[in-house]
Structures are given as C-alpha cells and as structure tokens.
Chain A
C-alpha cells in the first residue's frame, strides 16, 4: 500500500496539470467540436511532459535542490527574473481560475452560485496549505482525483461508434463546420495545457519536500511514467465521452455541467456524483499546486526559506507569497469574469511562456556540477531538443491564432 502512495506526488501533479478546470472544459469542447481529431496532441503532450518532468525529478533527487532554484545560478538573474514573472503571472491567474472551478463543481452539487463558494474555498485552500501535511494533501487529492476514471467507464457504457472515432483519431483535421485556424488554436491550447510551467516546478519542489535523494531516482521515474500518462488518459477520456455524446449532435461544450453529462447518461446518478467529485478533487488539487508553485518560484528565485516542511515561522516570506497569491486569485474572480474564459486566456499566455520554462530545465539537466554523471543521455537530450522546438513553435503561434480565430470562436 505504501508503494501505491509513493506515486501520489506524480499523480497529483499530473491531475493538476492535465485535468484542471481549463483542461476539463478544453478537452470537452475539443471533443464536442472536433471529435477526437486532437488525440495526437494529447499524446504529444504526454511524451513532452514526461521527458521534462523526468529531468526535473532527476535534478531534484540528485542535487537536492528544485529546478527553479538553479535557474538563477545557471542563467543569471535577469533571465531567471523573466522566467519568474512569466510563470508567476500564468500561475496566479490559473490559481484564480481553479478557485472558480472548485466553486463551479460545488455549484453542480448544490446549485448554490459559484461566486458564493469562492471565499469559502479560498479559505479552506489556504488553511490546507498552512497546516495539512504535504503527503496528506498529495494522497487525498491525488487519489480522489483518479475518480475521474468514471469517464473511461462511461465511454465503454455508451456504445460509441468506435469505427468512426478511430477514423477521427487517425485523420487529424477540422470536421465539417470548423476550419484549420480553430483546429490549430485548440491544438496549441491542448498542448499548452499538458505542459503548463507550474507542473514541473511543483513536481521538482515536491520532490524536495518529500526529501528524495539519489536513491529515489526510481521512485521519481515511476511517479513520472505512471502519473503523467494517467493524467493524459483522464483528459483523453473527457475528450472521448464528449466526442461520443456531443459531436454527433453538433453541439459545442462550454460549461462544466455539460462535461459531466456523458457520465450521467452512461451511469446515472452514481456516475454523475463521481464526475462531480472528480472535478472537485482535480480543481482543488490544481489550486493547491498553483498556490504552492507561486510560493516556491518566488522564494527560490530570491533564495528565501521555503516549503511546507519548515515551520511557517521560519518561512514567513514563502507563506506570505502563497497567501497573497490566493487573495489575488479571489480578487480576480470577484470581478465576475467567467472562470472558464479566464482559463482559456491563461492557456494561451502559458503557451507563450513555455520556452522560458523548458529551456532552463534542459540546460540544467546537462550540468555536471549538479548531476555528476547522471546528466542527460543522448536520448533525453534529443527528446528535450525536439520538444523545445515544438514548444517554441507553439509559443510563436499562440497569440496570432488567438487573434485570428477570436479565441477559437471562428
């Protein structure tokens, strides 16, 4: 059983990365509008995040320091500051969106408007980050989030047209009613959602919180190679069920309630309850991940004490950053901006910030000062460089696509 919990960090990171509120709706919308013609994007994203998360985990385990901590040393304070500002902006906005997402999940269960839930959720989040043990948070939210497996079960109960779906998956391209512009916009958004910066920073800081060392390299790898594909599978299941139910009806998806419908259709109230519970756990987990990630990156840039493993008295600046991030997130939501629209915008911006995040990781993973002889091999470097190229293309294409397709509206 203990082994099972050992992968909780990877699972939680992956859930916060692959099925946060933005991804849930983006995958649902992509499935409804494009069928599963974007399946290859998810696959590409899973490989990419696995490659880079493995590097980050290795760096943390062998050097005892998280990746972001090393960016300033290796690349200088200015580059690291650019990196910090970019990822902090995306992370805090995402935190706001996740708080909204938790509110939306609670609204589905109780019909009480999400805005009324937001302050409550924010307080509970802060309290959890203040007092609850890191491992408890990992285990509870990581493993509860796995309840989203209900979408896989629902798919098999829906008697889908598997031939048609297979055809969609193997023939990427816009179906009737969509054009290549919107197709690529969604491709970039889904790819960016798989590789959001806070995932790697959270994973490598979490590795240090768990006190992994060189002997834990295998644990790190298992976390990566089990957790992230699992996250990708959950995202794909949402896309798949949405493609099965909504695509034949030519109906687009833009709300959380719609994404849950296939589960209700296939499995009734139990399926619906599981879906809502899964949404709650995944978005709350993502909120934790982004909240902590904001604190980690700021503290690691300036060299402050950080981490839940220290007494808050001794990491006052770190905890203040976490608190302020949550407050800013709530403030953004109280402008009544639609949380789902907020995530769609942050997805585009995070696509632009991707090269800033991943180039330093590749550089650091090749540095013998930190990794000794555990630096990247040829395969890891080749994969890293290929993905860096893909990420750069996505970053350059994101904003033009957003403007030309009017956020995918066409």
Chain B
C-alpha cells in the first residue's frame, strides 16, 4: 500500500458514514528489521501544517497550536486497528462519539456556538 496514494489526505468516516476528519499525517513505527508499519492516523491542523511545510504550513501549524492552548499537546490519534475499510475514504469500525473530540471544535462549540440560541437544531 502506498501511503502517499491511499492514506494521506483521505477523508475518515466513522461507522455511520459521518465525517471524522482527514488523514493529516500518519504515525510510522519501525519494527525490529527496520521495516516501517503504519500504526496510527494523525489528525489536526498542526500536523498538517508541519507536513505541508513552507511559510504557509508554518502559519497554519502555528495558529493551530496557539488556538488549542497547550502547544505541546499530542495530535489527535486514531490507531490503525480502528480502521475497518480503506476504499475511496477510510471507514472506521467505531462511532464518532467514541473518539476524542478535536480541540478546536470543542473550544468553539463551548465558547461560541453553543451559546447562541438554536444551536441544537439542524436545518
């Protein structure tokens, strides 16, 4: 499997088809004989910014780190054993609720969106 082709930047969907995020980076673990295995998917603007590189990438990563408070917080990580299927998108075997919430979403929801009346109604 080519990581660049099949994994990176793909949409991650949960068991019900709800979007979880995109694969911003992957976690590689090297085993005893030096071969690399993908052990987890990493999500978050910080890792995306780091991967893109350049001035723009550093901007994104820097802003994301500042907004999420702790600048050394580890990125959101989804272990590969939660992945059920890899087709056009990457489908997980669990529901979205069981995964940790992205920090930016949580912060905005608690401090801004949830305070506006009507936040519970879809339209």
* Chain A interface residues toward B at CB < 8 A: 63, 65, 69, 72-73, 76-78, 80-81, 85, 130-134, 302-306, 308-313, 316-317, 319-320, 323, 369-370
Contacts and interface: CB of A to CB of B under 8 A. Distances in A.
Nearest to A308: B123
B107 to A, nearest CB: 8
A312 B118 contact: yes
B12 interface: yes
Contacts of B56: 81, 85
Nearest to B51: A77
A305 B19 contact: yes
Nearest to B87: A369
B122 A311 contact: yes
Given A77-B51, A302-B22, A302-B45, A316 B11 contact: no
B113 A313 contact: yes
B21 A304 contact: yes
A131 B118 contact: yes
Contacts of A313: 109, 113-114, 119-120
A313 B122 CA distance: 9
B10 interface: yes
B19 A303 contact: yes
Contacts of B22: 72, 302-303
A303 B112 contact: no
Contacts, number: 86
A286 B60 CA distance: 29
Chain A contact surface mostly: helix
Nearest to A64: B17
Contact of A320 (B18, B24, B112, B122): B112
Q: Which 5 A-B pairs have the closest CB atoms?
A: A303-B22, A316-B109, A316-B108, A316-B113, A303-B21
A72 B118 contact: no
B100 interface: no
Contacts of B89: 65
Contacts of B88: 63, 369-370
A149 B89 CA distance: 44
13 contacts: A73-B10, A76-B9, A81-B56, A302-B48, A303-B20, A304-B19, A304-B102, A308-B122, A308-B123, A311-B122, A313-B109, A317-B105, A320-B108
B121 interface: yes
B108 A312 contact: no
Most buried by B among A77, A131, A308: A77
A73 B11 contact: yes
B104 interface: yes
A65 B11 contact: yes
B11 to A, nearest CB: 6
B116 interface: yes
A73 B45 CA distance: 16
B94 interface: no
A311 B120 contact: yes
A130 B116 contact: yes
Contact of A317 (B24, B108, B120, B122): B108
B80 interface: no
A380 B31 CA distance: 49
Given A305-B19, A316-B109, A320-B112, A134 B10 contact: no
B36 interface: no
